[in-house]
Amino acid sequence: MTFYTRHGDDGTTGLLGEGRVTKTHPRIEALGALDEASAALGLARAQTVDSRCGPILLEAQRDLYKAMAEVAATPDNADKFRGIDATRVSWLETQTDALAATVKMPHEFILPGDSLAGAALSLARAVVRRAERRAVELLEADELLNTEVGRYLNRLSSLCFVLELVENAAAGKETTLAKGT
């Protein structure tokens, strides 16, 4: 078995369905951003101190793979790959609300870097935001029909912010405010 196919040597890649698109196509850009988001969540998960955070991040990574399948599917067969729905968005909201109730929420912007896991979560939040922008781009072009994917990514970035605060607290660190006050 080889770990390469050579099919993409011409600058195109296959979709879940008929056809190929260029590797710079907005759909592939969205897939790349989702893949990066999952990797960033994994980096954060590997560094978590608070026992609540790792399982939540793992489940979010699994959701991102469902979103990737949907984004990779051609419009004709996207329904077969739909894995993100309102219940997954609600799950994120529940996790975010439960964790937010356990930390002091800052009333201004914060700077990442107070703990390793917190910094990784801040990076993950930024990458998730990029994935959200790419998903919205597909939604606007009618290349992606499931609006729940965009909603999910929006909530996931909020969860990453709260998880950063949780991890900073678990590491015994004060969250640094951007204004320095």
Q: Distance between CA atoms of 148 and 86, rounded to whole angstroms?
A: 6
Q: Which domain CATH number covers 123?
A: 1.20.1200.10
117-151 pLDDT per residue, tens: 999 999 999 999 999 999 999 999 999 999 999 99
**Residue 2 placed within a domain:** no
**Residue 181 placed within a domain:** no
Distances (CA, A) of 61 to 18, 23, 25, 47, 128: 27, 23, 23, 15, 11
**Would you state the structure tokens that stand for residue 70, as one six-digit string?**
């949907």
Q: What is the pLDDT of residue 181?
A: 55
Distances (CA, A) of 142 to 74, 75, 130, 147: 11, 9, 19, 10
Count of domains forming the chain: 1
**Residue 62 placed within a domain:** yes
Q: What is the pLDDT of residue 88?
A: 98
**Residue 1 placed within a domain:** no
Please give the residue range of the domain that contains residue 153.
18-170
**Residue 76 placed within a domain:** yes
Q: What is the pLDDT of residue 32?
A: 97
pLDDT at 68 over 70: yes
**pTM over cut 0.95:** no
The angle that helices 147-170 and 53-72 make with each other, rounded to 10 degrees, is 160
Q: Distance between CA atoms of 42 and 44, rounded to whole angstroms?
A: 5
